[in-house]
Amino acid sequence: MTKKQKKTLIRIIVTTVLLIVIAIAENMIAFPSDEPYQAVPWDELRSRIIFGMYLIPYLIIGHDILKKAYKGIVHGQVLDENFLMAVATIGSMILGEYREGVMVMLLYQIGELFQSVAVGKSRRNIAALMDIRPDVANLVTDENGEESIRTVSPDEVEKGSVLVVSPGERIPIDGIVISGDSSIDTSALTGESVPRTIHTGDEVISGTINMNGVIRIRTTKPFGESTVTRILELVENASSQKSRSENFITRFARVYTPAVCLLALAIAVIPPIVNTVIGNDANLRSFVYRALTFLVISCPCAMVISIPLGFFAGIGGASRSGILVKGSNYLEALSKVDTVIFDKTGTLTKGVFEVVSIHRQKLSDQQLLKYAAYAESYSTHPISRSIVNAYGIEIDKGEVSDVEEISGHGVIATVSGSRVIAGNEKLMNKNGIEPAHCHDGGTIVHIAVNGEYAGHIHISDIIKESSPRAVKSLHDIGVDKTIMLTGDAKEVAERVAKTLSITDYRAELLPQDKVSAVETVMESRNKKRGCTAFVGDGINDAPVLTRVDVGIAMGALGSDAAIEAADVVIMDDDPLGIVKAIRIGKKCMRIAYENIYFAIGVKVIVLILSAFGLTNMWLAIFADVGVMILAVLNAIRTLRVSAL
């Protein structure tokens, strides 16, 4: 608890004890019958004493509410919950309902304390993410030709500086490892519990924790541009982006509160006037009591507090799972997503080429792979690298000579005295060799040795292990259309789409074609109420990410462009994060609507009962404080997202 919360709790306890003592003492106060010479009758004196007794706990528990109500009146912001509570409780005290007046204020403060604790819990979850902010950096300096390590603030470190990070320390700034091997804990950023192994030459991200070995890194950015700073700015600014539900509640409260105040005034004034006109007892006290009860019930704090709290907690829960949402409006949009457009490479697939299969003629698989790997060993093309990696044995380049790389076709080289041709069908045909036709989707590298066709190697961008489950889960939670965009050939796109059960695809797209493809999809979906999401790896995706209803960047750890352009940032590269983000959005919206319907429903029923004098202040207290506590309890359920 904070210091302020502890003070409020003490006031609540003191007020409760005083109420119990006063309730006992009230029944013990007895005076003799009135004497004619007394200045004040005993009954009036008793009433004054009891009023004074109840005034003490009333001021203890309610002085801050009264002060806020007064300031609101002075500044022209009259119709808020403080004003409603002040009028209702002061009115109760004037009517002689001292105990009810104090109890209304006491239970309101209990509700406020409960709400404050709930918000504090949500803020602590955000604060847990904020703990990724490094406090110090160990800067390597050269003083008089001698190396020394100086502890400085991270914002004093310039780009290109060398830092030492010991085990257990947080990496303060993005950089590249220049010495040392270790493993780092990225769970604070990605939600992933498995440590990541790093070696010299690897990139490291600020906010992660070095777990074992001492490493030295050369910074690639200043602290103000590092990943940790960007993430913290994103989370801190998320609350400024309001959802439609939050904006509705704000507008509703502006109309609702003045309306109920006028209704309360009408209840207090009109019936007594009518009764007087028709010759009946005005019964003013009864109708004023009804009006005060009406005011207590009408306080909109259950909705005004619980709806933003639910979204705030949802953003906090998502951030702990490595999903950064830039505002509650995007949580709301996520809940309505019915179309998801994927950029294939790096999102559904790993974005790296691998040898999938080997189809040989007379040679063994290993012999065919060896000829191909040796022939491709001088090339830096990703396809060549994948063949060399698949071979997995150190290549003796002394056995390779007369290498000729033909752009867009392949490689011709002499390997251990044999002439090897490795490339596409065009290269085979050009050299008078008839290649076998392969029906597999992907890249096919044909191999010929000494003018004779030897076989072919099937190379493809590998589908991520979790992609099939992610696409199926999306369909299960209400996404009725999934579309894949790729620059690959139609055969490759068709194979991936069929494997993943994706409903549609667009193949052979140039980077600039993706925007028009997305716009075409969105135009065809405009008649529906659902939202369209685009999922990419953040590389060259900025135009598309900003065009759709929800732009989602995956694998964005360390990608400034992705964090800047996307509405939702998934820090790791697991497609299941998309499903989780949508589920979090749906849960937040479901809870928001539950609170709206529950709060309005209960209040309307009790307001009607109170207008007809069928309820009292105690039921009014439940309709206000009780509903608020239940709504807040419901709202903080959005923090629990681990099982989604």
Give the catalytic positions in this structure: 343
Torsion-angle region of residue 88: left (phi > 0), alpha (psi -120 to 50) or beta? Answer: alpha
Between CA 291 and CA 263 the distance in angstroms is 8
- Separation of alpha carbons 147 and 138, rounded Å: 12
In this structure, what DSSP letter does residue 395 have? Answer: -
Measured CA to CA, the distance from residue 314 to residue 635 in angstroms comes to 9
Question: What is the b/e burial string over 387-403, where b = at least 16 CB atoms within 10 angstroms of the residue's CB?
Answer: bbebbeeebeeeebeeb
The Cα–Cα gap between 603 and 188 comes to: 42
Instruction: Give how far the C-alpha of residue 415 lies from the chain's centroid of Cα atoms, to the nearest Å.
Output: 56
Exposed, middle or buried, 236 (CB in 10 Å: 0-12/13-18/19+)?
exposed
Q: Which two tokens stand for residue 526?
A: 């405009």
Euclidean distance between CA atoms 416 and 178, whole angstroms: 38
Cα 352 to Cα 94, 445, 460, 539, distances in angstroms: 78, 16, 8, 15
What is the token pair recorded at 371?
A: 């000829």
Token output for 321: 């799972």
Rounded-to-integer distance, Cα 457 and Cα 474, Å: 34
Sheet containing 568-570: give its strands across: 323-325, 568-570, 550-554, 531-536, 337-343, 481-485, 504-506
Strands 452-463 and 349-360 come out as antiparallel
Sheet containing strand 196-198, strands side by side: 196-198, 182-185, 209-210
- Residues with Cβ within 8 Å of 328's Cβ and at least 6 positions away in sequence, in order, are 238, 239, 241, 242, 243, 245, 246, 308, 311, 312, 314, 315, 588
- Within 10 Å of residue 203's Cβ, how many Cβ atoms? 13
In this structure, the number of other CB atoms found within 10 A of the CB of residue 158 comes to: 10
**271/53 Cα distance (integer angstroms):** 33
Cα–Cα distance, 96 to 355 (Å, whole number) = 87
Question: Could you tell me which of 156, 184, 181 has the C-alpha nearest to residue 171?
Answer: 184
Residue 395 to residue 392: CA distance in whole angstroms: 9
List all residues 6 or more positions away from 431 whose beta carbon is below 8 Å from its beta carbon.
412, 421, 448, 451
